[in-house]
Structure 1
Amino acid sequence: MKLLVAEDQFMLRDALCQLLLMEEDVDCVFQAADGLEAIAVLERETVDAAILDIEMPRKSGLDVLEWARANSNTKIIIVTTFKRIGYFQRAIKAGVDAYVLKDRSISQLMKTIHTVLEGHKEYSPELIENIISANNPLSAQEQKILSLIAKGKTSKEISQLLYLSDGTIRNYTSAIFNKLGVSNRVEAVKMAQEKEWI
């Protein structure tokens, strides 16, 4: 089989390619240092499966995935350290074949490659758990207020922007803290941004 590895960290990419080439059913491994290089390889070569990092210069792994779905039959495997729900949801929507975390062995990765080449999908269980447990407890108004807090706005400034009293904004802020189980604005913003609720 012919594979493509797109990863912007040279040592990691090189090591992964060397290990994959040691597998007896791997004929060759193309390398790309960023998303644009990956697309150039896919345009030029017939590749059975592409193993893509998400965060790369010029074009991300998700950009390459979306390009490949429109222009190629290559199976796409995203391998990432990021458990961000937004990334995972975008990949699923674009029709990714596998979306797995980087903490796996080469034998596990080869198993994933064979799984997708047989026409099946594979997603890391942790990512599915994240989506199930990621229901946003904040109302639309609370999200709007927390977004303004994230921009450094004071309660008074928010009250003027939303045409509400200062006391009402303070009540909303307290409700946000209670729902998120935090004690201050910084913690609230941090949690909501990590879970992509704002």
Structure 2
Amino acid sequence: MIRVLLADDHELVRSGFSLMLTVEENVEVVGQVANGKDAVAHVLDSPVDVVLMDVQMPVMDGIEATRLITEATDTKVIILTTFDRDDYLFDALRAGASGFLLKNASPEDLVAAVHAVVDGHALLAPEATLRVVQQLTQYDAARAPQEATVDAHGGTAASSTEAPQRTGEQQRIIDSLTAREREVLTLAAEGLSNGEICDKLVVGQATVKTHISNVLAKVGARDRVQAVVFAHRSGMVS
């Protein structure tokens, strides 16, 4: 059974999510809380597999609760919010959330999200993944030092704002990947889902999942999003 905790300050919302999930044979809603502090306390006292976490709650918000939970346990957190805001998305990912959904998602999407994060996947649509990568790569470019180059006559040429060269550690990780694993990671970084990767490479779902799992282990990524960010930062995908 997949044990789920619901954290939302609206009882009707919790009741609705509970009804959606309890129809599933292998999903059990083991608790409901109305704020982030109680969510943290519940997880530390009675471990669960997944927390469905609201963002705006009294006492402690969902982002801080997510950070505390993911730092102390292996519990997966899915952020659920009524607001499609980039700051919520990025704050949630930085806090360690494995998924990000809007509350108007269908029951099928909600159930699929729970199963996905338990299986070790990050729940982000390709569009959301690309938003994350775009923001992080823009940040990397902004951090890159202004390096002045000296021409043959000793003059200073225009400074460069290009992203840093691939590091030795990044190269070591890439070298550790098999050719097929590099191919799968590249396609994932381009926004393809597992199903689309299957069609592209003419292989089965189980094969793609195995390659993704191997990539996560070698890259040292918690989930698919971190692996995709690695692919962009290391220059595997531009």
TM range (shorter): 0.5 to 0.7
Note the C-alpha offset of 1:128. 4.8
- Shift, 1:56, TM fit: 0.6
Q: Please report how far the alpha carbon of residue 63 of structure 1 lies from its aligned counterpart in structure 2 after TM superposition.
A: 0.8
Query: What is the CA RMSD across the aligned residues, in angstroms?
Result: 2.2
Alignment size in residue pairs: 136
Partner Cα distance (2:130, 2:102) in 1: 13
Matched residue, 2:200: none
Within 1, Cα distance between the matches of 2:10 and 2:127? 24
Alpha carbons of structure 1 residues 129 and 68: separation in structure 2 relative to 1, 3 Å? same
Cα shift at 1:42:
0.6
CA distance, structure 2, for counterparts of residue 123 and residue 30 of structure 1: 25
- The structural deviation recorded for 1:117 is 0.7
Identity of aligned residues (%): 31
1:122 is paired with a residue whose SS is coil
Q: 1:126 to 1:11 in 2, by over 3 A?
A: farther
Q: Per the alignment, in what secondary structure is the counterpart of residue 52 of structure 1?
A: strand
| Cα separation, 2, equivalents of 1:129 and 1:82 | 19
Q: Find the aligned partners of 1:102 and 1:27 in 2 and give their Cα distance.
A: 19
Aligned to 2:104: 103
Normalising by structure 1, we get a TM-score of: 0.62
1:47-73 residue CA offsets vs partner (Å, 9 max, x unmatched): 010000110111111011100121111
CA distance in 2 between counterparts of 1:113 and 1:81 reads 18
Which whole-Å CA distance do the structure 2 matches of 1:4 and 1:98 have between them? 15
Contact 1:20 1:29 in 2 (8 A): no
Distance 2:75 2:30 in 1: 14
Structure 1 residues not aligned, in runs of 5+: 136-198
Equivalence for 2:92:
91
Distance 1:94 1:27 in 2: 25
Which structure would you say has the larger Rg? 1
Partner of 1:75: 76
Deviation at 1:122, TM superposition (A): 1.1
Match of 2:117 in 1: 116
Which amino acid is 2:51 matched to? A
